[in-house]
A = this chain, B = another copy of it.
Amino acid sequence: MTKQEQIRNNIDYREVYEHGFVGLTDVFGDDSTPCKTARISYGEGTKSVSDNRNLLRYLVRHKHTTPLEMVVLRFHLKLPIFVMRQHVRHRTAVMNEYSGRYSEMSDEFYVPTHEDISLQSTTNKQGRAEPLADLMEFESKEAAQMIFDACNKVAHQGYRDLLDLGVAREIARIPLGVGNYTECYWQINLHNFFHYSNLRRDSHAQKENRAFADPMFELVERRLPIACEAFNDYIFHAETFSRMEVAILKNFLSSMWVREDLITEEWQKQHGMTKRECSEFIDRLNIRKYQDA
């Protein structure tokens, strides 16, 4: 069985591209861990919170983040150097990376498929064109792939030749491109993983970053479904509106009247919100309430 076949058969791993993978090798804690540790802070105060799901959602919603830091995730990743360079910016993670000083670098390089080769965006200085706006021709994409392959081949051959001359590994690796694959263990707590996910799964993140960040999140979701659902509801799919935007929203809604009990009941049913969430939402937007006569 090849390495990639082993990956494919391991429920805690996901293949990414031709050579890469993400694996969640170890998890310290589960959905009950933040609840258990939070209860020490709240003492008797949490008696009324009857179950873990509610408490966990409350913690995420109110940004009580330390209990989430008690859960720790250890990943095994194989990814191109330019993606690794983004990972390592997350300074709260602990990392052990394959060393090109000790060991020989692989001959594996990331080469984007046609789908991933795009024009520079005309509206976004830091990204590529949106799929629909991507008018790049088939021939250009073919040409681009040939350039990638040629560069990688030359760089890898240069590396081998330098090693054959006896040059030290730490020097010989210098011509290798940032598409060369590397490998690491990467450990981070749940709170900071959510922060990472929020940034790297964002539509503005480089697509290749999302290609790794997305399956990492799926692996975590399998192990901590409630926490991840809360993250999606209160962080990832939430929207923040500025002071000015809130003023405009309030103005838009200033002519509204809601009958709080009816609308709350509807929202609870339709969206799974708590009664308190409904009530706070109405208050935050100054929506006028009336009660049935």
Chain B residues contacting A187 (CB-CB under 8 Å) are 69-70
Smallest Cβ distance from A235 to chain B, in angstroms?
9
Say if the beta carbon of A222 comes within 8 Å of chain B. Answer: no
Chain B residues contacting A92 (CB-CB under 8 Å) are 91
A24-B90 Cα distance, complex, nearest whole Å: 25
Task: Give A232-244 as 1s and 0s: 1 = Cβ < 8 Å from B's Cβ atoms.
Answer: 1110111111111
**Oligomeric state, in number of copies?**
4
- Docked-complex contact A239 and B241, CB < 8 angstroms: yes
Chain B residues contacting A136 (CB-CB under 8 Å) are 165-167
- Docked-complex contact B171 and A116, CB < 8 angstroms: yes
Chain B residues contacting A82 (CB-CB under 8 Å) are 100, 173-174
Chain B residues contacting A248 (CB-CB under 8 Å) are 267, 271, 281
Chain B residues contacting A89 (CB-CB under 8 Å) are 88, 95
Chain B residues contacting A243 (CB-CB under 8 Å) are 232-234, 236-238
Say if the beta carbon of A176 comes within 8 Å of chain B. Answer: yes
Q: In residues 163-194 of chain A, which contact B (Cβ within 8 Å)?
A: 165-171, 173-179, 183-185, 187, 189
- Docked-complex contact B165 and A144, CB < 8 angstroms: yes
Interface band, chain A: 35 or more
- Docked-complex contact B147 and A126, CB < 8 angstroms: no
Task: Give A89-102 as 1s and 0s: 1 = Cβ < 8 Å from B's Cβ atoms.
Answer: 10110111111111
Pick 28 A–B contacts, CB within 8 A, sort by A: A42-B125, A44-B104, A66-B94, A66-B95, A81-B85, A94-B189, A101-B126, A101-B127, A117-B167, A119-B166, A128-B171, A136-B166, A140-B167, A147-B175, A148-B174, A148-B175, A151-B175, A236-B243, A237-B242, A237-B246, A238-B241, A238-B242, A239-B240, A240-B241, A244-B272, A244-B277, A249-B249, A252-B253
Measuring CB to CB, which residues of chain A are less than 8 angstroms from any residue of chain B?
Answer: 26, 28-29, 37-38, 40-45, 61, 66-67, 69-70, 72, 74, 76, 80-82, 85, 88-89, 91-92, 94-104, 110, 112, 116-121, 125-129, 136, 140, 143-144, 147-148, 150-152, 154-155, 158, 161-162, 165-171, 173-179, 183-185, 187, 189, 206, 232-234, 236-249, 252-253, 256, 267, 271-273, 277, 281, 284
